[in-house]
Amino acid sequence: MATYKELLAQKADLDARIEEARAAEVGAAIEKIRALMEQFGLTPDDVVQKRRGRPAGKVKAERQPLAPKYQDPKTGQTWSGRGRAPAWIGRNRDRFLIAAE
């Protein structure tokens, strides 16, 4: 049975051979692609699939949290008035309104 160091050496040798084979095959594939592009008069824009939707790189603006509009006087919990209503709000929301400053 091979030792750990021998196996590592074999792995390093295999990794180098794999990289050489990949480089050779990638080079051949690129040449084939270039020949086909020239034959059919294609440009890189014709070959690359365009993405639908928003342009890449645009970032949504961060939303600032809304000020609370309602407050439970017993627990001090607040709610902005958006999204699902908390259980403590009940039907009459007016009694939980926070006074405007």
Residue type (1 letter), 89: I
Instruction: Give me the pLDDT at residue 1, please.
Output: 77
Tens of pLDDT along the chain (101 residues) come to 789 999 999 999 999 999 999 999 999 999 999 999 999 999 888 888 776 766 666 667 788 888 899 999 899 999 998 989 999 888 888 888 988 76
- The domain segmentation of the chain, as residue ranges, is 4-47, 64-101
For the whole model, what pTM was predicted? 0.42
Q: Centre a 10 Å sphere on the Cβ of residue 58 and count the other Cβ atoms it contains.
A: 6
In this predicted structure, what is the pLDDT of residue 61?
77
pLDDT at residue 91, rounded to an integer: 86
